[in-house]
Amino acid sequence: MATRPEQLAEVLNKGLAPVYLVSGDDTLRLTEACDQIVAAAKQQGFTERSVHHVETGFSWHGLSQDAASMSLFAERKILDVRVASKKLDKEASALLQEWVADGSSNTDTVLLLRTDRLQPKQRSSAWFKALEKDGVVVLIWPLSAQEFPRWLKGRLQHKGLDLQTDALSYLAARVEGNLLAAAQEIEKLALQNLPMPISAEALAGCLEDTSRFSSFDLVDAALQGDAGRVHKVLHGLKEEGVSVFAIMGALTSQLRRLDQTRGLPPARARAIQRFMQRSRIPTHQWLAECTLIDQQAKGLGISDPWISLEQLLLSMAGVTSIPRPSVHQRLLRRR
């Protein structure tokens, strides 16, 4: 069945489907919808979860093998598949139709597919119609300029916050339609004990006083080619105790979506386009550098992961005098 994000909780309360497809370009709403599905599945005993990124060399039929392989401590499993819409090929179509057909007999596994916006041709395909008929499909469309204030107000109310009209307008202008930035600002605001309804003056003072760097500020600085800001934000995050893994999560998420600028704030979309124009390194090589840093952070590689992370981000920002982490590691091994 097809459902909207705001209806998903009601749908999940009626029971789990064998497969879920969540599609859209809005990272925040897509992630939150998937989190709802995972939480509902865990409540019903699906305690094991395996994550699959559909990249070069991925085998869709390997999902069936994964579904049949349970750990000693779990009887039910969630297969969380992150796939770009262009990777939904003939092999994927065959497996998904087969998966839905066998859904009634495979009650120990839930398949969750998360992808960017599907094209009209894909939404009229046989595999999509099969999922729509016997699974649950959640299509997430960008919020319009008229819908955004309503979404923002609902988000505030969910956190128990009430803003005066001018304060709401101020917050909407500050985040420029960026839902992720809006969610972060609301989280900050919820930690303050401000009298309700919050005025624009109180809101402005609060947000400025509590402003902190985020991992996404760091990624934006690298994409914009601002090496000075990369250095400042990275060291600010390190001093605040942010983990390397949190930053890497934001970075790899953005790298995997470089060709998906629809729905992003204009400034961020332009920064991504400029980065892709000046970068001579393919995306998969940037991701390989991220894998190296992840290994270093886990104690499986040489060099300091924070140094490697700064090298990577400065390289992305266009600084050519600093070697990428993989090059630096090779130099260390020669010594």
Residue 191 is part of a domain; what is its CATH number?
Answer: 1.10.8.60
Give the CA radius of gyration of the chain: 22
Residue with tokens 């400065």: 314
In the chain, pLDDT over 90 holds for what percent of residues?
21
- In this structure, the answer to whether residues 125 and 248 fall within a common structural domain is no
- In this structure, the answer to whether residues 131 and 153 fall within a common structural domain is no
- In this structure, the answer to whether residues 112 and 157 fall within a common structural domain is no
Q: d(Cα 25, Cα 144) in Å, to the nearest integer? A: 13
Residue 105 is part of a domain; what is its CATH number?
Answer: 3.40.50.300
Mean pLDDT, rounded, of the chain:
83
Instruction: Note the pLDDT of residue 67.
Output: 73
- In this structure, the answer to whether residues 57 and 99 fall within a common structural domain is yes
- In this structure, the answer to whether residues 129 and 173 fall within a common structural domain is no
Two structure tokens written together for 33: 């919808």
pLDDT digits (tens, 9 = 90+) for 211-228: 566 777 888 889 989 999
The helix/strand count (H/E) of the chain reads as 17, 6
- In this structure, the answer to whether residues 164 and 265 fall within a common structural domain is no
Instruction: Note the pLDDT of residue 335.
Output: 47
- Could you count the other beta carbons within 10 Å of the beta carbon of residue 317? 21
H/E run at residue 79: strand 77-82
Instruction: Note the pLDDT of residue 332.
Output: 47
Average of per-residue pLDDT across 252-265: 76
Which residues constitute the domain of residue 11?
2-140
Q: What count of Cα atoms within 13 Å lies in the side-chain half-sphere of residue 200?
A: 10
Q: d(Cα 221, Cα 233) in Å, to the nearest integer? A: 8
Strands (E), 133-259: 136-140
Which of 169, 193, 209 corresponds to the end of one domain? 209
Instruction: Note the pLDDT of residue 259.
Output: 79
- In this structure, the answer to whether residues 61 and 179 fall within a common structural domain is no
Question: 188 or 276, which is more confident?
Answer: 276
Q: Are 309 and 244 in contact (CB under 8 A)?
A: yes
- In this structure, the answer to whether residues 291 and 230 fall within a common structural domain is yes
Closest C-alpha among 307, 306, 300, 297 to residue 331: 307
- In this structure, the answer to whether residues 223 and 181 fall within a common structural domain is no
Instruction: Note the pLDDT of residue 239.
Output: 79
255 CB-near residues (< 8 Å, 6+ apart): 283, 286, 287, 290
Which of 89, 113, 140 corresponds to the end of one domain? 140
Which of 209, 233, 263 corresponds to the end of one domain? 209
- In this structure, the answer to whether residues 194 and 233 fall within a common structural domain is no
Instruction: Give the count of domains, the chain.
Output: 3
- In this structure, the answer to whether residues 40 and 132 fall within a common structural domain is yes
